[in-house]
A and B are shown apart, each in its own frame.
Chain A
Amino acid sequence: MTSLLTVKLRRDLWATRSRLLMMVIAIAVSLTVFGAVLLAWSTMSREATSAYMSTEPASATILLDKAIDAQQMAAIVAEVRSRPGVIEATGRTQFSGEVEVNGRLLDIPLQVFVAPPDDPMRMAKFFPGLANWPPSPGEIFIGRDSLALLGVAVGDIVTVEVPGGERHSLRVADTVYDPSLSPSPQEQTGRGYLSTASLATSGDTAVLDQLKIQVADPGQSTPSRDRDAVVAVAGDVGEWLQGSYSLSIREIQVPPPYAHPHQWQADALLLSLLVGGGIALLLSTLLVANMLNSLFTQQIPQIGIMKAIGARSRDIGRLYLAMTLLVAAVATLLALAPAVLIGRVLVGQIFAFLGIEAASIAAPWWAYLVVLAAGLGLPPMMALVPLVRTSRTTVRAAIDHTGLPSSARTATGALARLSRIPGLDRGLLMALRNTVRRPARFLLAAGLLASAGTVFVAGVSLSAGVAAIEQQQTTQRDWDVDVQLARPASIEEVTRLLGQVPDVSRVEGWNRVPTGVAGPGQIPVTRTYPDQGHGRVTLTALPSGATTFRPPKLLEGRWLDPAETGAVVLNQITRNNTLPDVRVGDSVQLLIGGSYTTWRVVGIVEERGGGGGAYATAEGLAAATGQPQRVNQLRIATASHDEQTRVGVADALDRALTDAGIEVASAASVSRMEAISGGHLGPVISIVLAIAVAMGVIGGIGLASTMSANILDRTREFGVMHAIGARPERVRRIVTAEGIFLALASILVAILPMLGLTLLLGTGLGNLFFSAPLPFVISIPAIAIWITIAILGAVLATEAAATRASRLTVREALAYL
């Protein structure tokens, strides 16, 4: 570029600074969102995987039905290590039980992970803060993120109930960082780490029931990423254990390889954010390209002059490329710091959600590069076509240039016919005609606004969908107190005992037993993680005449008949996690209390989280296990349903049962469950709304720029209107009406995408978080709010343009080049 063109560029930039500033803001806002999410996601992916893998997690955990002693386990481990595909093995156990801290019984359980004192800790590792493995007998390590939840500190005494009912008082000797588990506060479970030496006091040495193995692909020394390969190797090991050691295998747990238990949720969240941010970025660069186009177009007369005195297209092109690059560079510079900052806040929250400590919160270099490339590269790319076209303008084209494309004539022609209708306000008609005079510009501005509206309404509708699920669950819940018994008890005895508690109006007893699902002759395989939280299957035995239960939505087959035996209904989550190919009519094995029982699948139901997984009748369970009907879960309706009665009854029930020797795991009002549920989608929805706000800003800028470009185009026209006596108020009204027409058009344009996006997100996120689509709900308040915002925003965004138009003097208008 010649030096004088640089001077011209500098002065043009100054002359158009307010428009350039809007372009910079539009790109900077969307690039901030996009950059923050990309930086957060890339950091999270790297750190989550490396933190999770730093524990050398087991590829598979083979759960023995009966524990064996340490010596036998050591012998098995030694042999398993040399089996094909196995690169590491160790024997462990774990249990979950009540815990007392300094003599006070807590209402959350403690999950305890146990390893022999001589475990080399080469796999399924965890990281004690100060001490080394093992803790001395009589000592326990506590998960660091459990401390606050349990209210303990190093040096405190905790009393742990071990399997078999014995209680051990242990001193908290150290804290443990274990990034292989989901965070303790989220699961509402404390975590402890013990050596078998601390359990040995009971005299029973057969305590190890988990064989953990790491599986590698042939010829490799790092754990396999292929879950099917892991399942195959673990299945081989399981059969070998059954054959060579006559051990019965309860279940093989194979969680998704290389993935932290919450990683998929974090991934889903950030990826949907990234897509949203990406769309916002594309829209904003599209807007900027359009704004630049109108800036270039406005300069066509000047381009003609320059061409006439010897400028080549190259010279002109460089001038406008420099302008575009400058906008892109300033926007990128502005966006960089907030993107890094917001990205770090986001990634911090996600690390907390994952329960991991990052080695570094710096994003990988390629993520910065992508942000820079997007910020610097996208605007010139989008502006390339108008840029090249404008710089190629011939002198002749510049002379002929009138500022209006020929396509405008069709649209305005149709509207011209409208003006013959008597009684229509001429000013309004004029506004309407002006709105569509530049169809491409009109569509872009309406499209931008519509996108923002679409995302906003979809976001609010999502939370309405979640609320609808909760509402449904609450209205279907017609009992007041939930009681979990530590061990199954006879329903007659429980009913008799509870009958004496005041305010109890009805008692219903269920039996829920942990189970494993397998095909005939197979070992059950699940996706369960070491925290036992995910992918666990429970068989719910429904009492005849159950009133507190409504059969879930059937996907296949039928629901259970009353008192039917041998029939089981699975939900879709269980089917996907265990036997994805199982159909109605197939035979399956359920492992209950250590023995395999055979059932026929009569139906598949759809449940959203919290569902049991498998359903049978109480009679069916009794028949299959050859034991009398017993219950371990009670649902109690109280005389009145206020919180005070519920809590009072819960406490009274707990006392009555405990006094009668029936151990109660928990007794609580149902309202506590309501408080726990639901929170998971919250962050997603707030993020969707944040994207909607970003898009709203871009849409507002789009509207403002469209209006000001429209007015620039018509500078002469307004000048003429003033010259023939139009009052400023009237001009202002016309311009404002144009903006409102645009907003109304954007609302019309948004209707279909709004329905589509809500359906899409509801299905996608519902499947992710609840394993079933969310109910399709469109939030009417959201639509009302959006319409109000769009119209108010239109008036505001048009304000500057309207003021300018109404103040244009005749002289200014005629001097306009």
Chain B
Amino acid sequence: MIHVGDVVKTYPLAGGSFTAIDQLDLDIAEGEFVAIVGRSGSGKTTLLNLLAGIDRPSSGTVRVAGADLGSLSESGLAAWRGRSVGLVFQFFQLLPTLTVAENVMLPMDFARTVPGGQRRDRAERLLERVGIAEQADKMPATLSGGQQQRAAIARALANDPPVLLADEPTGNLDSVTADAVLELFGDLNAEGRTIVVVTHERDIRSIVGREVTLKDGRLVTDQAERAMVTV
């Protein structure tokens, strides 16, 4: 489902360049639930951006949900994102001038996967699923941080994407809410969705099937179902 092959990502800097991802190889099979952990600045967000097609690698290949991201144009990437991945990033808040339900319907509008008449229904069902159905017709600014985050997850699920990428989805949440969100991820994974999540939550291991640790852009440990693999 996800293949990262010998990927290097360097950022140009004033004096030379900075290597954020260094010759990274990573394969994630369909249906896996992977957590990416590591210290601040270790390259987690950079890796996720590469998986989401937000950044292009300096070298190496990235294949996600059947598409070689390097060969897609910007609009090709947009269309691919619309159908194949759901993003839950801190940066991607809700659009301020659309209601919560409208925000959830927007990806369906872009991808035209769901027939027009069913979009509202589907949005309501997704919101119910993340537990904020009663907020459907409010403006995002009137929601709490956790409610916004859950609305963003509902939006990420709009087109029923096979892959879900999340960057610190629980960063701003209290521990109870954070647990609920992670549980939701677990349920989504149980339905067969491939999920990659960057997180600092300590008790993540009880939920995910695999934990990948980054350090200085390199893969240090890849721990799957309690089996240690050292690279």
Chain A positions within 8 Å of B, measured between CB atoms, are 2-5, 7-8, 11-12, 15, 302, 304-315, 392, 394-396, 399, 815, 817
A310 and B98 contacting across the interface, CB-CB below 8 Å:
no
Is the CB of B78 closer than 8 A to any CB of chain A?
yes
Best-surrounded residue of B75, B92, B158, B159 (most CB of chain A within 10 A): B92
B91 and A313 contacting across the interface, CB-CB below 8 Å:
no
Rounded to whole Å, the gap between the CB of B123 and the closest CB of chain A is 11
Q: Which chain B residue shows the least CB distance to A6?
A: B109
Rounded to whole Å, the gap between the CB of B78 and the closest CB of chain A is 5
Q: How long is the Cα–Cα vector from A312 to B74 in the complex, in angstroms?
A: 8
B49 and A15 contacting across the interface, CB-CB below 8 Å:
no
Rounded to whole Å, the gap between the CB of A306 and the closest CB of chain B is 7
Chain A residues in 8 Å Cβ range of B55: 396
Rounded to whole Å, the gap between the CB of A298 and the closest CB of chain B is 11
Binds A, one of B99-107, B127-135, B221-229: B99-107
Q: Which chain B residue shows the least CB distance to A305?
A: B92
Partner of B110, one of A12, A311, A392, A817: A311
> Can you list 21 A-B pairs, Cβ within 8 angstroms, ordered by A?
A2-B106, A2-B110, A3-B116, A4-B109, A11-B98, A305-B94, A306-B106, A306-B110, A308-B54, A309-B81, A309-B87, A310-B107, A310-B111, A310-B159, A312-B78, A312-B110, A314-B75, A392-B74, A394-B54, A395-B52, A815-B141
Q: How long is the Cα–Cα vector from A304 to B49 in the complex, in angstroms?
A: 13
Q: How long is the Cα–Cα vector from A5 to B98 in the complex, in angstroms?
A: 9
| 9 nearest CB pairs, A to B | A310-B82, A2-B109, A11-B97, A310-B110, A309-B107, A312-B75, A395-B54, A312-B78, A4-B109
Chain A residues in 8 Å Cβ range of B111: 310
Interface residue tally on B, bucketed by range: 20 to 34
Best-surrounded residue of A7, A394, A395, A396 (most CB of chain B within 10 A): A395
Chain A residues in 8 Å Cβ range of B116: 3
Rounded to whole Å, the gap between the CB of A398 and the closest CB of chain B is 8
Q: Which chain A residue shows the least CB distance to B111?
A: A310
A8-B97, A11-B98, A815-B141 known; A308 and B110 CB under 8 Å?
no
Chain B residues in 8 Å Cβ range of A15: 97
Q: How long is the Cα–Cα vector from A538 to B97 in the complex, in angstroms?
A: 78
Rounded to whole Å, the gap between the CB of A396 and the closest CB of chain B is 5
B36-88 contacts to A (CB < 8 Å):
49, 52, 54-55, 74-75, 78-79, 81-83, 87
B91 and A304 contacting across the interface, CB-CB below 8 Å:
yes
Chain A residues in 8 Å Cβ range of B158: 309
Chain A residues in 8 Å Cβ range of B95: 8, 302, 305-306
Is the CB of B89 closer than 8 A to any CB of chain A?
yes
Rounded to whole Å, the gap between the CB of A314 and the closest CB of chain B is 7
Known: A4-B105, A313-B78. 18 other contacts (CB 8 A): A3-B116, A5-B109, A8-B98, A302-B96, A304-B92, A305-B92, A308-B81, A309-B82, A309-B106, A310-B110, A310-B111, A311-B110, A312-B78, A315-B110, A395-B54, A396-B55, A399-B54, A815-B141
B49 and A396 contacting across the interface, CB-CB below 8 Å:
yes
Chain B residues in 8 Å Cβ range of A311: 78, 82, 110
Q: Which chain A residue shows the least CB distance to B113?
A: A310
Best-surrounded residue of B83, B87, B95, B105 (most CB of chain A within 10 A): B95
Chain B residues in 8 Å Cβ range of A394: 54, 74
A309 and B54 contacting across the interface, CB-CB below 8 Å:
no
Q: How long is the Cα–Cα vector from A308 to B92 in the complex, in angstroms?
A: 8
Rounded to whole Å, the gap between the CB of B135 and the closest CB of chain A is 18
Q: How many A-B residue pairs have CB under 8 A?
A: 83
Q: How long is the Cα–Cα vector from A3 to B98 in the complex, in angstroms?
A: 12
Rounded to whole Å, the gap between the CB of A316 and the closest CB of chain B is 10
Chain B residues in 8 Å Cβ range of A313: 74-75, 78
Rounded to whole Å, the gap between the CB of A7 and the closest CB of chain B is 6
Q: Which chain B residue shows the least CB distance to A310?
A: B82
Q: Which chain A residue shows the least CB distance to B94?
A: A305
Chain A contact residues: over half helix, strand or loop, or mixed? Answer: helix
Is the CB of B93 closer than 8 A to any CB of chain A?
yes
Chain A residues in 8 Å Cβ range of B96: 302, 817
Chain A residues in 8 Å Cβ range of B91: 304, 399
Q: How long is the Cα–Cα vector from A8 to B107 in the complex, in angstroms?
A: 14
Chain A residues in 8 Å Cβ range of B93: 305, 817
B79 and A312 contacting across the interface, CB-CB below 8 Å:
yes
Is the CB of B155 closer than 8 A to any CB of chain A?
yes
A4 and B141 contacting across the interface, CB-CB below 8 Å:
no
Q: Which chain B residue shows the least CB distance to A5?
A: B109
Q: How long is the Cα–Cα vector from A815 to B94 in the complex, in angstroms?
A: 13
Q: How long is the Cα–Cα vector from A311 to B108 in the complex, in angstroms?
A: 10
B105 and A309 contacting across the interface, CB-CB below 8 Å:
no
A310 and B75 contacting across the interface, CB-CB below 8 Å:
no
Interface string of B150-179 (1 = CB under 8 A from A): 000001101100000000000000000000
Chain A residues in 8 Å Cβ range of B141: 815
Q: How long is the Cα–Cα vector from A305 to B103 in the complex, in angstroms?
A: 10
Q: How long is the Cα–Cα vector from A302 to B96 in the complex, in angstroms?
A: 8
Rounded to whole Å, the gap between the CB of B215 and the closest CB of chain A is 24
Best-surrounded residue of A4, A314, A315, A396 (most CB of chain B within 10 A): A4
Chain B residues in 8 Å Cβ range of A304: 91-92
Q: How long is the Cα–Cα vector from A305 to B81 in the complex, in angstroms?
A: 12
Q: How long is the Cα–Cα vector from A812 to B170 in the complex, in angstroms?
A: 24
Q: How long is the Cα–Cα vector from A8 to B55 in the complex, in angstroms?
A: 27
Chain A residues in 8 Å Cβ range of B97: 8, 11-12, 15
Q: How long is the Cα–Cα vector from A305 to B90 in the complex, in angstroms?
A: 11
Chain B residues in 8 Å Cβ range of A315: 110
Rounded to whole Å, the gap between the CB of A622 and the closest CB of chain B is 92
Q: How long is the Cα–Cα vector from A8 to B96 in the complex, in angstroms?
A: 9
Rounded to whole Å, the gap between the CB of A632 and the closest CB of chain B is 84
Rounded to whole Å, the gap between the CB of A726 and the closest CB of chain B is 25
Best-surrounded residue of A2, A311, A392 (most CB of chain B within 10 A): A311
Chain B residues in 8 Å Cβ range of A2: 106, 109-110
A7 and B102 contacting across the interface, CB-CB below 8 Å:
yes
Rounded to whole Å, the gap between the CB of B43 and the closest CB of chain A is 16
Chain B residues in 8 Å Cβ range of A11: 97-98
Q: How long is the Cα–Cα vector from A39 to B160 in the complex, in angstroms?
A: 58
A11-B97, A15-B97, A308-B87 known; A396 and B74 CB under 8 Å?
no
Q: How long is the Cα–Cα vector from A403 to B115 in the complex, in angstroms?
A: 38
Chain A residues in 8 Å Cβ range of B79: 310, 312
Q: How long is the Cα–Cα vector from A5 to B106 in the complex, in angstroms?
A: 8
Q: How long is the Cα–Cα vector from A305 to B107 in the complex, in angstroms?
A: 10
Rounded to whole Å, the gap between the CB of A199 and the closest CB of chain B is 86
Q: How long is the Cα–Cα vector from A618 to B97 in the complex, in angstroms?
A: 89
A4 and B74 contacting across the interface, CB-CB below 8 Å:
no
Q: How long is the Cα–Cα vector from A306 to B141 in the complex, in angstroms?
A: 18
Chain A residues in 8 Å Cβ range of B82: 309-311
Q: Which chain A residue shows the least CB distance to B158?
A: A309
Q: Which chain B residue shows the least CB distance to A9?
A: B97
Q: Which chain A residue shows the least CB distance to B89?
A: A308
Partner of A309, one of B49, B74, B102, B155: B155
B78 and A307 contacting across the interface, CB-CB below 8 Å:
yes
Rounded to whole Å, the gap between the CB of B71 and the closest CB of chain A is 17
